[in-house]
């Protein structure tokens, strides 16, 4: 996910749209038994001013795994905005190196921050019985639990 700032400037552009799709090279979610499927899509715009470049965009991805309540298959679609300030000046958090900006760090950071901590098979998932483990979305169990008190 590299944008060539020198090339944009040579073309006389002060802003440009971009679109990338990539597969993360590492696990970006801490959600157990879940993973990003189909890659991460990144769309946005870069604005050039002097020695700086501002990037604004949207990251979208899908996480599939186990429902946090009943362990059935679950899926979450995530879309999050991000922005980053790049500079060719020393000490910049996101540097412009050799006229190039690399979107990997801010995009991966956006994925990590916006990944859900839990996912559900459906919004009204009832989970499992804490006594017998029956999936309460499928059937009622015969256990006496704290729900009946």
pLDDT, tens digit, 9 for 90 and up, residues 99-114: 999 999 999 999 999 9
Q: How many CB atoms lie within 10 A of CB 98?
A: 9
Q: Which residues pair with 97 in a beta bridge?
A: 100
Greatest alpha-carbon span in the chain: 74
* Distance between CA atoms of residues 148 and 144, nearest Å: 7
Q: What is the pTM of this model?
A: 0.82
Residue pair 18/57 in contact by the 8 Å Cβ criterion: yes
Q: By residue range, what is the domain housing residue 60? A: 2-123
> Does residue 69 lie within any of the structural domains?
yes
Q: What are phi and psi of 148, to 5 degrees?
A: -90, -5
> Does residue 63 lie within any of the structural domains?
yes
Number of domains in the chain: 1
H runs (alpha helix) in the chain: 5-10, 104-114
Q: pLDDT digit string (tens) for 57-115?
A: 999 999 999 999 999 999 999 999 999 999 988 888 899 999 999 999 999 999 999 99
> Does residue 42 lie within any of the structural domains?
yes
> Does residue 48 lie within any of the structural domains?
yes
Half-sphere exposure of 42 (CA within 13 A, CB side): 27
> Does residue 133 lie within any of the structural domains?
no
């Amino acid at each position: 996910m590299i944008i060539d700032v020198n090339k944009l400037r040579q073309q006389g552009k002060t802003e440009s749209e971009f679109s990338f799709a990539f597969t993360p090279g590492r696990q970006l979610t801490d959600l157990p038994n879940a993973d990003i499927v189909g890659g991460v899509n990144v769309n946005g715009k870069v604005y050039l001013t002097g020695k700086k470049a501002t990037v604004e965009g949207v990251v979208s991805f899908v996480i599939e795994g186990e429902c946090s309540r009943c362990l059935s298959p679950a899926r979450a679609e995530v879309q999050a905005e991000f922005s980053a300030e790049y500079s060719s000046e020393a000490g910049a958090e996101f540097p412009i190196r050799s006229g190039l900006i690399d979107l990997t760090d801010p995009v991966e950071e956006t994925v990590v921050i916006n990944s859900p901590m839990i996912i559900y098979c459906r919004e009204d998932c009832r989970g499992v019985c804490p006594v017998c483990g029956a999936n309460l979305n499928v059937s009622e169990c015969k256990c006496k639990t704290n729900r009946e008190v």
